[in-house]
Protein backbone atom coordinates (compact mmCIF):
# COMPACT_ATOMS: atom_id res chain seq x y z
CA UNK A 1 0.00 0.00 0.00
CA UNK A 2 0.99 3.63 -0.27
CA UNK A 3 2.60 5.46 2.65
CA UNK A 4 -0.48 7.52 3.76
CA UNK A 5 -2.35 4.26 4.36
CA UNK A 6 0.49 2.85 6.48
CA UNK A 7 0.86 6.12 8.42
CA UNK A 8 -2.84 6.34 9.21
CA UNK A 9 -2.98 2.68 10.23
CA UNK A 10 -0.06 3.26 12.61
CA UNK A 11 -1.88 6.22 14.17
CA UNK A 12 -5.08 4.20 14.70
CA UNK A 13 -3.17 1.24 16.17
CA UNK A 14 -1.26 3.42 18.66
CA UNK A 15 -4.48 5.21 19.61
CA UNK A 16 -6.28 1.86 20.11
CA UNK A 17 -3.67 0.68 22.63
CA UNK A 18 -3.27 4.12 24.24
CA UNK A 19 -5.33 3.24 27.31
CA UNK A 20 -3.36 0.09 28.17
CA UNK A 21 -1.11 0.20 31.26
CA UNK A 22 1.77 -0.19 31.85
CA UNK A 23 2.80 2.08 29.01
CA UNK A 24 5.61 -0.28 27.91
CA UNK A 25 3.00 -2.95 27.19
CA UNK A 26 1.00 -0.46 25.08
CA UNK A 27 4.13 0.48 23.14
CA UNK A 28 5.12 -3.19 22.67
CA UNK A 29 1.66 -4.08 21.37
CA UNK A 30 1.61 -1.00 19.14
CA UNK A 31 5.01 -1.87 17.63
CA UNK A 32 4.08 -5.50 16.97
CA UNK A 33 0.62 -4.88 15.51
CA UNK A 34 1.79 -1.85 13.49
CA UNK A 35 4.67 -3.85 11.97
CA UNK A 36 2.34 -6.76 11.13
CA UNK A 37 -0.24 -4.33 9.67
CA UNK A 38 2.30 -3.38 7.01
CA UNK A 39 2.43 -6.98 5.78
CA UNK A 40 -1.35 -7.28 5.60
CA UNK A 41 -1.79 -3.95 3.80
CA UNK A 42 0.90 -4.89 1.29
CA UNK A 43 -0.95 -8.16 0.57
CA UNK A 44 -4.15 -6.12 0.12
CA UNK A 45 -2.29 -3.84 -2.29
CA UNK A 46 -3.12 -6.31 -5.09
CA UNK A 47 -6.59 -4.73 -5.39
CA UNK A 48 -5.15 -1.20 -5.73
CA UNK A 49 -3.06 0.60 -8.38
CA UNK A 50 0.40 -0.56 -7.35
CA UNK A 51 2.71 -1.36 -10.29
CA UNK A 52 6.04 -2.86 -9.19
CA UNK A 53 8.18 -0.47 -11.23
CA UNK A 54 7.95 3.34 -11.42
CA UNK A 55 6.68 4.76 -14.72
CA UNK A 56 7.89 8.34 -15.00
CA UNK A 57 6.51 8.56 -18.57
CA UNK A 58 2.93 8.13 -17.37
CA UNK A 59 1.30 11.44 -16.35
CA UNK A 60 -1.15 9.51 -14.20
CA UNK A 61 1.58 7.57 -12.37
CA UNK A 62 3.53 10.79 -11.71
CA UNK A 63 0.44 12.77 -10.64
CA UNK A 64 -0.83 10.01 -8.37
CA UNK A 65 2.52 9.54 -6.67
CA UNK A 66 2.95 13.31 -6.26
CA UNK A 67 -0.45 13.35 -4.49
CA UNK A 68 0.63 10.37 -2.37
CA UNK A 69 3.83 12.21 -1.38
CA UNK A 70 1.95 15.40 -0.47
CA UNK A 71 -0.58 13.41 1.57
CA UNK A 72 2.24 11.56 3.38
CA UNK A 73 3.88 14.86 4.33
CA UNK A 74 0.53 16.26 5.51
CA UNK A 75 -0.22 13.16 7.61
CA UNK A 76 3.26 13.23 9.17
CA UNK A 77 2.81 16.91 9.95
CA UNK A 78 -0.52 16.18 11.63
CA UNK A 79 0.33 13.05 13.61
CA UNK A 80 4.07 12.34 13.83
CA UNK A 81 4.53 14.20 17.11
CA UNK A 82 1.85 12.29 19.00
CA UNK A 83 1.90 8.93 17.22
CA UNK A 84 5.48 8.54 16.04
CA UNK A 85 5.84 5.09 17.60
CA UNK A 86 2.89 3.62 15.72
CA UNK A 87 3.73 5.44 12.49
CA UNK A 88 7.39 4.35 12.62
CA UNK A 89 6.59 0.66 13.07
CA UNK A 90 3.75 0.71 10.51
CA UNK A 91 6.02 2.29 7.89
CA UNK A 92 9.48 0.92 8.75
CA UNK A 93 9.42 -2.02 6.26
CA UNK A 94 9.47 0.53 3.42
CA UNK A 95 13.03 1.39 4.50
CA UNK A 96 13.76 -1.67 2.29
CA UNK A 97 12.91 0.35 -0.82
CA UNK A 98 14.98 3.34 0.31
CA UNK A 99 18.02 1.06 0.60
CA UNK A 100 17.35 -0.87 -2.61
CA UNK A 101 16.31 2.00 -4.90
CA UNK A 102 18.88 4.29 -3.24
CA UNK A 103 21.68 1.94 -4.31
CA UNK A 104 20.43 2.14 -7.89
CA UNK A 105 20.08 5.93 -7.87
CA UNK A 106 23.46 6.63 -6.28
CA UNK A 107 25.27 3.74 -8.02
CA UNK A 108 26.53 2.26 -4.80
CA UNK A 109 26.32 -1.28 -3.47
CA UNK A 110 25.47 -2.37 0.04
CA UNK A 111 26.17 -6.13 -0.05
CA UNK A 112 23.91 -7.06 2.86
CA UNK A 113 20.93 -5.01 1.58
CA UNK A 114 20.29 -6.30 -1.93
CA UNK A 115 16.98 -7.89 -0.83
CA UNK A 116 13.94 -6.29 0.86
CA UNK A 117 14.66 -8.07 4.16
CA UNK A 118 11.75 -6.63 6.15
CA UNK A 119 9.25 -7.36 3.36
CA UNK A 120 10.73 -10.86 3.03
CA UNK A 121 10.12 -11.39 6.75
CA UNK A 122 6.51 -10.14 6.45
CA UNK A 123 6.03 -12.28 3.33
CA UNK A 124 7.21 -15.33 5.30
CA UNK A 125 4.81 -14.54 8.14
CA UNK A 126 1.83 -13.87 5.84
CA UNK A 127 2.44 -16.88 3.59
CA UNK A 128 3.66 -19.55 6.01
CA UNK A 129 2.40 -18.87 9.52
CA UNK A 130 -1.27 -19.33 10.49
CA UNK A 131 -3.49 -17.44 11.15
CA UNK A 132 -1.71 -14.81 9.00
CA UNK A 133 -1.42 -17.19 6.05
CA UNK A 134 -5.18 -17.81 6.23
CA UNK A 135 -5.78 -14.09 5.80
CA UNK A 136 -3.46 -14.08 2.79
CA UNK A 137 -5.30 -16.95 1.15
CA UNK A 138 -8.54 -14.94 1.45
CA UNK A 139 -6.91 -11.75 0.10
CA UNK A 140 -5.40 -13.70 -2.79
CA UNK A 141 -8.89 -14.53 -4.02
CA UNK A 142 -9.45 -10.82 -4.73
CA UNK A 143 -8.75 -9.63 -8.27
CA UNK A 144 -5.24 -8.41 -9.05
CA UNK A 145 -5.60 -4.79 -10.20
CA UNK A 146 -2.03 -3.57 -9.60
CA UNK A 147 -1.76 -2.17 -13.13
CA UNK A 148 -5.22 -0.62 -13.37
CA UNK A 149 -5.05 3.15 -12.64
CA UNK A 150 -8.74 3.19 -11.61
CA UNK A 151 -7.89 0.78 -8.80
CA UNK A 152 -6.27 3.67 -6.91
CA UNK A 153 -9.85 4.52 -5.90
CA UNK A 154 -9.85 1.49 -3.58
CA UNK A 155 -6.90 2.96 -1.71
CA UNK A 156 -8.55 6.41 -1.61
CA UNK A 157 -11.66 4.72 -0.17
CA UNK A 158 -9.59 2.86 2.42
CA UNK A 159 -7.88 6.10 3.50
CA UNK A 160 -11.33 7.76 3.80
CA UNK A 161 -12.57 4.87 5.99
CA UNK A 162 -9.44 5.07 8.17
CA UNK A 163 -9.88 8.86 8.53
CA UNK A 164 -13.50 8.35 9.55
CA UNK A 165 -12.45 5.66 12.07
CA UNK A 166 -9.87 8.03 13.57
CA UNK A 167 -12.47 10.79 13.76
CA UNK A 168 -14.95 8.53 15.54
CA UNK A 169 -12.26 7.34 17.98
CA UNK A 170 -11.35 10.96 18.78
CA UNK A 171 -15.00 11.89 19.30
CA UNK A 172 -15.54 8.86 21.56
CA UNK A 173 -12.65 9.75 23.86
CA UNK A 174 -13.89 13.32 24.43
CA UNK A 175 -17.54 13.01 25.51
CA UNK A 176 -17.19 16.17 27.61
CA UNK A 177 -16.46 18.39 24.62
CA UNK A 178 -20.00 18.50 23.30
CA UNK A 179 -21.83 19.74 26.44
CA UNK A 180 -19.16 22.42 26.89
CA UNK A 181 -19.75 23.66 23.36
CA UNK A 182 -23.50 23.64 23.87
CA UNK A 183 -23.15 25.84 26.93
CA UNK A 184 -21.19 28.40 24.93
CA UNK A 185 -23.75 28.58 22.12
Which positions from 84 through 113 interact with Zn ion, judged by CB under 5 A?
Answer: 93-94
Contact call for residue 43 and Zn ion (CB under 5 A)? no
The C-alpha atoms of residue 45 and residue 143 are separated, in whole angstroms, by 11
CB-nearer residue toward Zn ion: 15 or 119:
119
Which residue's C-beta sits nearest to Zn ion? 42
Residue 51 Cβ, how far from Zn ion at the closest point, in Å?
A: 14
The Cα–Cα gap between 5 and 90 comes to: 9
3 belongs to the binding site for Zn ion (CB under 5 A): no
Residue 20 vs 36, nearer CB to Zn ion: 36
Q: Which is nearer to Zn ion, 144 or 170 (CB)?
A: 144
Per-residue HEC secondary structure of 9-71 comes to: HHHHHHHHCCCCCCHHHHHHHHHHHHHHHHHHHHHHHHHCCCCCCCCCCCHHHHHHHHHHHHH
The 10 Å Cβ neighbour count of residue 140 is: 11
Out of 3, 42, 43, 155, name the contact with Zn ion by CB under 5 A. Answer: 42
- For Zn ion, give the closer residue by CB, 122 or 145: 122
Residues that bind Zn ion (CB under 5 A): 42, 93-94
Amino acid sequence: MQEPTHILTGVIIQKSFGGIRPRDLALGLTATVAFLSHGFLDELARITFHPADPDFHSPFWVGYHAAVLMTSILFLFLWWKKYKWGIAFAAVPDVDWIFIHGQGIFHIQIPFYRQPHLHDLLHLIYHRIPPFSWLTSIVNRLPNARHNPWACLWEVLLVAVLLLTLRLMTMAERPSVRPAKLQVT
